[in-house]
Amino acid sequence: MTNRTRISSGSPWEPVVGYCRAIRVGSVVEVAGTTAMKDGRVMYPGDAYNQTKFSLSIIEEALRQAGASMADVVRTRMFVTDIGKWEEIGKAHGEYFRDARPVATMVEVKALIDPELVVEIEAQAIVGDR
């Protein structure tokens, strides 16, 4: 049986909803949908570029705790509330993944958990597959 390592964000919602920030099974790391929230507050309300950067910094830390890095990321999924902001979101994504260049999906959704959030990002990494 492969070891399963859970990485917690410390959110009080994790045990209620039944999830964790990230999980590593073997060489695969999956990072849950991540938004620009800190201590229950939305960071950079309505600002697609800075919310994307903030979310990616949280993902980067979760990957580090799982023994991975942004260079190990092979896929991202971006859920956005306004596809018209794709260039701002894409610019921030490109700053983090300019060299790794994972496959990426960006789709418009009706809403996220808080109306001030404009982007939520998932990531999948395979450690040692560079």
Q: Which of 43, 5, 50, 44 is nearest to 24 (CA)?
A: 5
d(CA 80, CA 33): 12
Query: Terminus-to-terminus CA distance in the chain, angstroms?
Result: 25
Domains identified in the chain, total number: 1
Residues 59, 127: contact at Cβ < 8 Å?
no
Neighbours of 4 (CB within 10 A): 9
Residues 65, 7: contact at Cβ < 8 Å?
yes
What pLDDT, on a 0 to 100 scale, did the predictor assign at position 129? 52
Per-residue pLDDT of the chain (130 residues; tens, 9 = 90+): 578 899 988 888 788 888 889 999 999 999 999 999 998 899 999 999 999 999 999 999 999 999 999 999 999 999 999 999 999 999 999 999 999 999 999 999 999 999 999 999 999 999 985 5
CATH of the domain at 120: 3.30.1330.40
The domain in which residue 113 lies consists of 4-126
